[in-house]
Amino acid sequence: MKGINKYIDHTNINKKATRKDIEKTCDEALKYQFHGVCVNPEWVKTVATKLKGSGVKTVVLIDPPIGDSGHSQRLKWCQKAKKEGADELDIVINVPDVKHGRFDKVLGDLREICRVQDTKVIIGSGYLTDEEIAKASQIVKKAGAICVKTATYNDPLENRELAEKARHLKIMKKNAPGLLIKASGNIRTLSDIKEMIKAGADIVGTSSGVSMILESEGKKTEKQKPAGY
């Protein structure tokens, strides 16, 4: 099994984050060689510059928390992020469209976005029924994404038990075979991430990556201030 570090998208999506905060997040990711650093769009250039040549990916969160912006605006954000150095897009599916069964519209939106850059699609699983999670995962695969992801901030999944989060991952994995699966939403401890990996997660979005690594090494950890996940 790969090391815990390689599962982690080290995340800082705090709206009050400063350049110093974002650079610290990048320095931590470089030190521990995390999978990626996930930030809001305004920080893509900063992160891409800091991580250049390191193998740590620059990941950008697009259209949280429910993906309800217009298609043309979403596409522009994605194109801009790629131009500024993003390696991967973490874009939220249009949750209201999924809830209203507008699946052709959802697919059309995501297909065009997935042509821009490697895309991980956040389905907002805490808002969805099991059937909707399955359908959304199928659409994400059909659209050409590389990964289907559970949630972002303000998703009801944040406040649910770990077992419920694991159950969502299993539904996603079953309905999007061959795609990477990303877990997120208040995953804070070493035992949390191990549970997500056991349930099928290939990537985990968290702002607690450093404390997880220190915990895995048997070292005392300071309480980290959440930076979005």
Q: Which two tokens stand for residue 114?
A: 């997935």
Q: Which two tokens stand for residue 225?
A: 């201030």
Candidate list 50, 135, 141, 149, residue with the active-site label: 149
Residues pairing with 204 in the sheet: 8, 183
99 is a catalytic site residue: no
Our measurement of the distance from residue 58's CA atom to the centroid of its chain's CA atoms, rounded to an integer in Å, reads 12
Buried b (16+ CB within 10 A) or exposed e, 95-105: bebbeeeeeee
Whether residue 146 contacts residue 117, with contact meaning beta carbons closer than 8 Å, is answered with no
Residues in the chain: 229
Candidate list 90, 97, 109, 202, residue with the active-site label: 90
Residue 138's closest CA among 101, 172, 98, 164? 172
Measured between alpha carbons, how far is 164 from 185 in angstroms, rounded to an integer? 11
149 is a catalytic site residue: yes
Q: Please identify every residue annotated as catalytic.
A: 90, 149, 182
